[in-house]
Structure 1
Amino acid sequence: MSEQPKNWEVVLGELQREIVTGRRHPRERLVEDDVIARTGATRHAVRLAFAELEKVGLVTRARNKGVHVRDYSSREIEELYEIRECLECQAARRFARPAPPETIEALTDIAIRHRDASQSQRLGDVFELNDRFHETLYRAAGNRQLADAIRHYTFATQPIRTRAFASRDIRELAIDEHFEMINALTVGDTDRLCQIIARHIGRPKDFYLQANGIEDLAALA
């Protein structure tokens, strides 16, 4: 019995994982025929997946040039991270003082598993658990629309963030900062929480800029 063709959502998921984990590089072209041959999906399904990738900002499409993995200018990076810092600090300020015990317990459990995954070099789990930690944190802030906006911009910066996860030093700092966030929530220090968040999300940005030889506009200002 032949395998059923994959629908567009399955193709979308596979391409998303390839992009955000760095298997697909900035400016790399995504060729319809190659994806069809590899996945067994229909052309219609592949085009729908490409359209969704474009919608969430992971690829760009240019007339007569096809679809390419999104590249980032220094200005785009700075603007994306400015939005992220504004949104995430606003969420931090919404927490009750101190945060409820069930929130602390859930975040601590994820942070421990994230630390264990990093120490075991299970990078796929590191990515997934890191995202789960932050999504759990911002969902607990009590504004669903704000949490959705944070998730959108976090996803838009995923190719930037994942480059930094290859660095053991950055992973270890991220682990420490997760527990610092939990401590700040435990004592109800939302100003400190915002400071940790700003530092936490800024480090992968700086790593990406340096790794790609891109000048940091904020540093030059």
Structure 2
Amino acid sequence: MNSLAKVAPDQSKSWDFVYRELQRQIIAGQLRPRERLVEDEIMARTEATRHAVRKAFDELERMGLVVRQPNKGVQVRDYSITEIEELYEIRECLELRAAARFSRPADQALVDQLTEIASQHRDASRAQRFGEVFSLNNDFHEVLYRSAGNQQLADAILHYTFATHPIRTRAFPNEELREIAITEHFAMIDAITRGEGQRLGELIHSHITRPKEFYLRATYIQDSL
């Protein structure tokens, strides 16, 4: 008898537990682009119910980490090189436009809020709590762009940020890149404190480009070896 069949679903294992475990594996590269997520295997591995696994899939899809393919089920999201370049061209246009709106020193309340998020992100990053890094990084950028004064622009940035989650998170396990991201977050806060929109734009350009280049090297160069 298959030993997996002996494991009874644990009602206490919530969908959030399954979601965070799968999220961690995707971010850490343990689940690779195009890899299929099979309900029965995940139920056996996590001891969760089918309902919990399916709800976790729904949340992963909402966050842009997986896609549902006809006749293929749920897969870790993947992009062609052309799609990656196109997505990041749009992101850069949108985010640099938002940066240009910070032409005056930001309110102290915004500076304090971003500093608190950046500090929590730094601590989570150095402790390698990648689920928290993921959430706090999203929080930092959403608060920043919501403060640019154009909510439609902020919504568009959020949309394309979600679309590139699998690309951005691939770099999280790399300590050097995490430290650079920490430094850039605090530099962005300094830029808006001084009302230096151009400097903010330069920081944003490097901030979003570096994970893209890491993903391309890790996914396409390594896979071709």
- Give the structure-2-normalised TM-score: 0.78
Q: How does 1:63-82 map to 2 (within 5 A)?
A: 63-82=70-89
CA distance in structure 2 between the aligned counterparts of 1:125 and 1:55, rounded to whole angstroms: 17
User: Percentage identity across aligned positions?
Assistant: 60
Paired residues for 1:6-45 under 5 Å: 15-16=22-23, 18-20=25-27, 22-35=29-42, 38-42=47-51
Q: Secondary structure at the match of 1:132?
A: helix
Letter of the 1:81 counterpart: Y
Matched, 1:117 2:92: no
Segments of structure 1 that go 5 or more residues without pairing to the other structure are 216-221
The 5-angstrom pairing of residues 138-153 of structure 1 reads 138-153=145-160
Structure 1 distance, partners of 2:50, 2:143, is: 34
Give the 3 Å change call, closer, same or farther, for CA 133–71 of structure 1 in structure 2: same
Q: What is the rounded CA distance, in whole Å, between the counterparts of 1:118 and 1:64 in structure 2? A: 38
2:206 to 183, 190, 199: 199
Q: Deviations over 1:60-88 (max 9, x none)?
A: 44443333212221111111111111111
Shift of 1:3: 3.2
State the secondary structure of the residue aligned to 1:111.
helix
Work out which of the residue numbers 136, 142, 145 in structure 1 matches 2:143: 136
TM-score w.r.t. length of structure 1: 0.79
Residue 39 of structure 1 aligns to a residue in which SS?
Answer: coil
Retained in 2: the 8 A contact 1:12–1:50?
A: yes
Alignment partners' CA distance in 2, 1:174 and 1:103: 19
Amino acid corresponding to residue 214 of structure 2 in structure 1: F
* Whole-angstrom distance in 2 between the partners of 1:6 and 1:202: 36
> Alpha carbons of 1:10 and 1:109: their partners in 2 closer, same or farther (altered >3 Å)?
closer
Candidates 84, 87, 91, aligned match of 2:91: 84
Structure 1 position 181 matched with structure 2 position 185: no
Name the count of aligned residue pairs: 211
Secondary structure class of the residue paired with 1:213: helix
Relative to 1, partners in 2 of residues 1:123 and 1:49: Cα closer, same or farther, differing over 3 Å?
A: closer
Cα–Cα, structure 1 residues 18 and 198, in superposed 2: closer, same or farther, change >3 Å?
same
In structure 2, runs of 5+ residues without a counterpart are 1-9
Question: Are the counterparts in 1 of residues 23 and 131 from structure 2 also a CA contact under 8 Å?
Answer: no
Aligned to 1:108: 115
Aligned match for 1:156, one of 163, 188, 192 = 163
> In structure 2, what residue type is equivalent to 1:195?
E
